[in-house]
Amino acid sequence: METRNHEKVTVMKQIKSRLGNIGNAITGVGAEARRLAKEDSRRIVHAFKVGLAVALVSLLYFFDFFFDGFGVNAMWAVMTVVVVFEFSVGATLGKGVNRAIATLLGGALGFAAHDAASYTGDKVQVILLGLSVFVIAVVATFCRFFPKMRTRYDYGLLIFILTFSLISVSGYRNDEVWDMAYGRLTTILVGCCATVLVCSLVRPVWAGEDLHKLTASNIQQLGTFLEVFGGVYFQEEAKDDKNQVLLNDYKSVLNSKGVEDSLTPLQHRAKIKEPCKMIISESSSALRELAMGIQTMTCSPSRDVHVVNAKSAAAKLKALMKTGLWPDADFLGIVPAVAVASLLTEVVLCTVKINEAVAKLASSARFKKVDRGIKKELSLDKMQRTPSIEGSHINIVVE
Amino acid sequence: METRNHEKVTVMKQIKSRLGNIGNAITGVGAEARRLAKEDSRRIVHAFKVGLAVALVSLLYFFDFFFDGFGVNAMWAVMTVVVVFEFSVGATLGKGVNRAIATLLGGALGFAAHDAASYTGDKVQVILLGLSVFVIAVVATFCRFFPKMRTRYDYGLLIFILTFSLISVSGYRNDEVWDMAYGRLTTILVGCCATVLVCSLVRPVWAGEDLHKLTASNIQQLGTFLEVFGGVYFQEEAKDDKNQVLLNDYKSVLNSKGVEDSLTPLQHRAKIKEPCKMIISESSSALRELAMGIQTMTCSPSRDVHVVNAKSAAAKLKALMKTGLWPDADFLGIVPAVAVASLLTEVVLCTVKINEAVAKLASSARFKKVDRGIKKELSLDKMQRTPSIEGSHINIVVE
């Protein structure tokens, strides 16, 4: 009796622990889902948009049996919605156009092949159709390896092979094939239209806008990183809590510098401190100005001032290094400080290049000219670096 | 009359130039196709394999009308072949399994939803089915954002939504739906089997094998590059034509060193020449040995000797730098030479790490132990760096 009881307890414990495991797994998935949704709330919106489009077109298919409009072909509309719906409007449009054109071309060519083969005998017909499907599939598949085709028309080529095979080998009589091809094309167009409408009207996502924000926030991050690096490298105290938070944010990046830091005696750093700090502050100010300019599509003249200041500081640093401040120092000990100095001069060169590129952008996109006196800092919550932006797009297509 | 003639001549010239343009375009496409085929001949084989599979399954569809086996559903087989056929066997298998399981799950769930809804009134049925399609689409679409799901089951989730919508909203009576679901599943299985058979039996491509070759050739290239760099940096003459060819191969990489080179006076280089050359020759020998070992799945003890030699050369170089060979030299002028020296010591550290990694690989993959006396050099045509390997796979899936 006691063993029985003992067994029961053991089984109960096992069940409990398994239930606990399942519970943990569910909690884990829930936490991951919350994280994904928080990182980019547009993901939830996207899921609901897809649900809406699929439900709409499915009901079309369902009612079809009462009104007898599209026939069995209506399922192509459901298929189109599921396959074509992408995260951003541009990608959806690209896929929809690809599918529509490929269906049209493949259908036309398939119809022609079917028609041509129907004038021959049964056996010849089979051989001709099999051969034509083979040749088209070989050529179109090889075309998918062309880099230009792959980036833009990969999906279209797939649909082209598909439609061609389906239509040409359908085995129907000519007029039936015509009906089938016509039905397939119209329902695919209905599906494409429904998809594009839902995608572009309900909280649309524009890849170009994301790129715009991403560029601005990346440049802003460069500036911030530079400043934080300067603070850490020259051993300054974190001024307030905000800085401390930033420091933690960049710790992973800074960790890679750990080895180098430990090799550099502090006295060497002190010698190049003045011009280096000047370079850092001016470059990061310039970068922040540039980021703000891209974000708000304005251009302020003060960024040029910062760039000029950074350039003159770099010249000073170079002169300082040429005069040889360390004639008797241990050679290996100096190298890291020299490396930092030369990297900083390169940072200035890069800042100048970024400045030129933004100036070009500003002139072609006709940024407004403003004198920024009041708004000195970009609100950080708007400009937070979001790796999620790339993560949300299954595939960023630049149209 | 003359104006007429003149006009004719102009028109003829225009036609000629246009024909010329078209001719040039065709030649360009032909050249690109030849280049793609030459880079990786398996691309042509792949195209023919797809053609074969599509033609085979299409004929199945075609004969279907005489034998009445699969019905209209047979087109799902054609579809499956076109969509599932990938470059490597692993990716094809992954997609096929995804498609089969997703169809099974989606079909079962769709059938259940359809069955449950059929017990209610007409209006309630429509609402219930629409709602279920909406919910399933929302949940499955959101699941596609989970990183783990995206890498492995992205395609399956798509097919799941598709099959569920098609089956649940089909509007047929229950027994008809069962026929439809059964037909769809069997034809998709036929398509998957045909695809996997053709893909794995006719000149199969294994992504793992490519990775194996790629790793070996990458390490080999590192070694070769190091040697060529040493030759160029220390201004040695190219010994023979083969070296000259290699130099041209790496010109693009070396061009980036142009600026640095011009800054380094030759006398500084001469001072560090001896240990640097030692490091270069020993490291590159070790890397070549390692590459050959990975390629042939053998391990030879001589690579350890090379690594030890490289380490001691690095120690010598460090000592040389510490003694301060250049007390009176222009400081800025020395920096590039010092940079090269410190990069080379880092190269030695990396070589040591690669050696350790390969040793681990050798013990877990049980490489054969051999003493390499005869075969001293890997045949280069087998080991040529092929960026094409990545380019050929539309998507390398590590299963």
Nearest to residue A282, comparing CAs of A316, A245, A308? A308
pLDDT digits (tens, 9 = 90+) for B362-394: 888 888 877 654 444 444 444 444 444 444 544
Calculate the alpha carbon distances from B52 to A123, A346, B83, B86, B91 in Å: 19, 57, 14, 14, 18
Partner-chain contact B161 A82, CB within 8 Å: yes
Instruction: Retrieve residue A223's tokens.
Output: 């500036």
Q: Which chain A residues are Cβ-neighbours of B163 within 8 angstroms?
A: none
Q: Which chain A residues are Cβ-neighbours of B83 within 8 angstroms?
A: 158, 162
**Residue B50 Cα, gap to closest chain A Cα (Å):** 7
pLDDT on residue A102: 93
Instruction: Retrieve residue A334's tokens.
Output: 């100096």
Distance in angstroms (rounded) separating the CA atoms of residues A172 and B265: 81
Q: Which chain B residues are Cβ-neighbours of A72 within 8 angstroms?
A: 72
**Residue B394 Cα, gap to closest chain A Cα (Å):** 8
pLDDT on residue A387: 42
Partner-chain contact A51 B126, CB within 8 Å: no
Nearest to residue B162, comparing CAs of B106, B111, B80? B106
Instruction: Retrieve residue B31's tokens.
Output: 């050249």
Partner-chain contact A133 B51, CB within 8 Å: yes
pLDDT digits (tens, 9 = 90+) for B75-118: 788 889 998 999 999 999 999 999 999 999 998 998 888 888 88
Partner-chain contact A338 B342, CB within 8 Å: no
Compute the CA torsion angle B123, B126, B127, B128 (nearest 10 deg): 120
Residue in B with minimal Cα distance to A319: B332
Calculate the alpha carbon distances from A199 to A88, A292, B58 in Å: 8, 30, 35
**Residue B321 Cα, gap to closest chain A Cα (Å):** 7
Q: Report residue A65 CA to chain centroid gap.
A: 41
Question: Contact, A356 vs A49, CB < 8 A?
Answer: no
One-character DSSP codes across A323-357: T-S-SSS-HHHHHHHHHHHHHHHHHHHHHHHHHHH
pLDDT on residue A167: 83
Nearest to B322 among A32, A65, A332 (CB): A332
Total beta-carbon pairs less than 8 A apart between chain A and chain B = 184
Distance in angstroms (rounded) separating the CA atoms of residues B156 and B309: 53
Residue in B with minimal Cα distance to A328: B327
Nearest to A46 among B141, B150, B338 (CB): B141
Partner-chain contact B33 A142, CB within 8 Å: yes
Q: Which chain B residues are Cβ-neighbours of A78 within 8 angstroms?
A: 162, 165-166, 169
Q: Report residue A318 CA to chain centroid gap.
A: 40
Instruction: Retrieve residue A368's tokens.
Output: 């407004």
Chain A interface disruption, residue of B133, B153, B188, B340, most A CBs within 10 A: B133
Residue in A with minimal Cα distance to B134: A51
Partner-chain contact B134 A54, CB within 8 Å: yes
Distance in angstroms (rounded) separating the CA atoms of residues A302 and B341: 42
**Residue A45 Cα, gap to closest chain B Cα (Å):** 9
For residue B367, what is the DSSP state? P
Nearest to B51 among A33, A72, A134 (CB): A134
Partner-chain contact B158 A62, CB within 8 Å: no
Distance in angstroms (rounded) separating the CA atoms of residues B156 and B173: 27
Question: Contact, A399 vs A94, CB < 8 A?
Answer: yes
Alpha helix stretches (DSSP H) within A365-387: 380-383
Dihedral angle sign, alpha carbons of residues B260, B266, B271, B273: positive
Chain B interface disruption, residue of A36, A43, A58, A349, most B CBs within 10 A: A58
For residue A365, what is the DSSP state? T
Residue in B with minimal Cα distance to A163: B79
**Residue B13 Cα, gap to closest chain A Cα (Å):** 31
Q: What share of chain A is helix, strand, coil (3-state, %, to 5)?
A: 80, 0, 20
> What band does B169 get if pLDDT is binned at 50, 70 and 90?
confident
Q: Which residue has the tokens 């000073």?
A: A316
pLDDT digits (tens, 9 = 90+) for B239-258: 445 555 555 555 444 343 43
Q: Which chain B residues are Cβ-neighbours of A205 within 8 angstroms?
A: none
How many other CB atoms sit within 10 Å of the CB of residue B141? 24
Q: Which residue has the tokens 């040493």?
A: B230
Distance in angstroms (rounded) separating the CA atoms of residues A129 and A127: 6
Question: Contact, A226 vs A281, CB < 8 A?
Answer: no
pLDDT on residue A68: 53
Coil/strand/helix, residue B144: coil
Chain B interface disruption, residue of A145, A163, A318, A332, most B CBs within 10 A: A145
Partner-chain contact B141 A51, CB within 8 Å: yes
pLDDT tens per residue across all 399 residues of chain A: 566 778 888 888 888 888 888 888 888 888 989 998 888 889 999 999 999 999 988 887 777 655 555 556 677 888 899 989 999 999 999 999 999 999 999 989 988 888 888 888 778 888 888 899 999 999 999 999 998 888 889 899 999 999 898 888 776 666 777 777 788 788 888 889 999 999 999 889 888 888 888 888 888 888 888 888 887 777 654 444 555 555 555 544 434 343 344 444 566 667 778 888 888 888 998 988 888 888 888 877 777 889 999 999 988 888 877 765 555 555 666 667 777 888 888 889 999 999 999 888 888 888 887 765 444 444 444 444 444 444 454 443 332
Partner-chain contact A43 B145, CB within 8 Å: yes
Chain A interface disruption, residue of B169, B316, B394, most A CBs within 10 A: B169
Query: Which residues, 6+ apart, have CB-to-CB distance to A235 below 8 Å?
Result: A266, A269
**Residue B194 Cα, gap to closest chain A Cα (Å):** 15
